[in-house]
Amino acid sequence: MKLNTPVSVQWLSTLTNAEIIGNQQLEISGVNEIHQVEKGDIVFVDHPKYYNTCLNSDACCIIINDKTVSIPEGKALLYCEDPFEAYLKIVQHFKPIVATTKSISEDAVIGEGTIIMPNTFIGPNVKMGKNCIIHPNVSILADTIIGDEVIIQANTVIGSDAFYYNTKKNRQDWYKKLLSCGRVIVEDKVEIGAGCTIDRGVSGDTIIGRGCKLDNMIHVGHDTQIEPNCLFAAGVAIAGGVKIKQGVTLWGQVGVTKTITIGENVTVLGHSGVTGSLEANKVYMGFPAEEASIVKRQYVWIRRIPELWKKVMTP
């Protein structure tokens, strides 16, 4: 999430009740989590496993619960006991939940020739291009950006919160919600089927690239970035932080795990489970998904097991 106006690290220190260590003169221009961090951002970390990743990222300021770490030159730490809670304070300040009373928010920008059918909700700060068709009962939530000639079928939700929780077993509430302050960007000529759900980024953007076609009942998780001209059949479920390159085809009920990359022009056959990154220009199938030619040979040998067993057991 980029801030409308940069703020000083001293101001954030006061907001979060945190101690500044390092560069006292920093200006912070964005709020992010580690998977989407950019230059000028502030990021939080509360586990030693990720200290070095955050400290050596593009973030200029790190909210952290250890003041003994080595600070890279020019950066600052905001030290506090609970970085997660400090991060939530910042998000709540800059992106509070605002109650809306109208089906189409007054500040929504809707392009010429766009058709919006009954019972559609369009939230605050939504921007929609020309000649779109939005079918009944669609919800387009705050800060979503939609390009030209986009079609969204009935009962789809764009911009719902990320499924993202801070998990700790030493407190009463094991799963503490990480507030979402990111966006969904749907580029030109995208078609989204009925009953789909596309989560906003935690702090960055979920992107559906130009010309992508999504069938019914598809889920796209937070911060997933889909490049142009991909085709997804019904029932596909994609977790958060996935990068899908251009020209990818996912057939029915494919499941994709988080934070992996699917190379360009990949095809994944139906009912497959993608548990790791996939190389470009290949066809995959099975669980875990492997090259289809390999899996098909395995199936041939599996079918021969009874015959082979009979030969082994025959005296």
Q: What is the pLDDT of residues 14-63, one digit of tens each?
A: 999 999 999 999 999 999 888 778 899 999 998 898 899 999 999 999 99
Q: What is the pLDDT of residues 255-305, one digit of tens each?
A: 999 999 999 999 999 999 999 999 999 999 999 999 999 988 888 888 888
Assign domain 109-295 to its CATH superfamily.
Answer: Hexapeptide repeat proteins (2.160.10.10)
pLDDT at residue 171, rounded to an integer: 74
The C-alpha atoms of residue 212 and residue 253 are separated, in whole angstroms, by 17
The C-alpha atoms of residue 262 and residue 219 are separated, in whole angstroms, by 16
Domain 2-94 has CATH 3.40.50.1000: no
47 is catalytic: no
**Strands of the 237-238 sheet, one edge to the other:** 121-122, 139-140, 157-160, 197-199, 219-220, 237-238, 255-256, 273-274
The C-alpha atoms of residue 48 and residue 39 are separated, in whole angstroms, by 22
Q: Name the DSSP letter for residue 161.
A: P
**Residue 242 pLDDT > 80:** yes
Q: How far out from the chain centre does Cα 279 lie? A: 21
Per-domain residue ranges of the chain? 2-94, 109-295
Q: What angle do CA 48, 35, 207 make, to 5 degrees?
A: 165
Catalytic residue among 35, 135, 219, 222: 222
231 and 213 in contact (C-beta within 8 Å)? yes
Q: How far out from the chain centre does Cα 222 lie? A: 2
Q: What angle do CA 230, 233, 235 make, to 5 degrees?
A: 125
